[in-house]
Amino acid sequence: MIEIKCPTCKKQVAWSKDNAFRPFCSERCQLIDLGAWADGSYAIPTKESPTDDEENTPTTPPENEDE
Ligand SMILES: [Zn+2]
């Protein structure tokens, strides 16, 4: 069995296909690492940026239903 170290918490974790979060030990560590990427802590270029240009904020005027 192959064991690797979780890049986030350095815990020994088995590299198996049962581990959906490999090379991380858990989803939490995966998310932490992704957060680090977004933070610019990692210098490895990725072209996959999430589509955050969908800022659909409808400007609904406030309704005064008291009148
Ligand atoms: Zn971990």
State pLDDT tens for residues 49-58: 666 666 666 6
Quick one: average pLDDT of 9-25? 92
User: Residue 64 C-alpha to ligand 1 middle, in angstroms?
Assistant: 51
Distance (Å) from CA 31 to ligand 1 centroid: 10
Which 3 state secondary structure label does DSSP give 47? coil
Long-range contacts: 9-12, Cβ < 8 Å, 24+? Answer: none
Give the global pTM. Answer: 0.50
Give pLDDT, residue 6: 95
Distance (angstroms) between ligand 1 centre and the Cα of 30 equals 7
Which residues touch 30 (CB under 8 Å, ≥6 apart)? 8, 21, 24
- Domains of the chain, start order: 3-39 (3.30.50.10)
In the reported structure, the alpha carbon of residue 51 is separated from the centroid of ligand 1 by a whole-number distance in angstroms of: 27
**Rounded to whole angstroms, how far apart are CA atoms 12 and 4?**
6
Residue 64: the pLDDT is: 79
Question: What is the sign, positive or negative, of the torsion defined by CA atoms of 10, 8, 28, 26?
Answer: negative
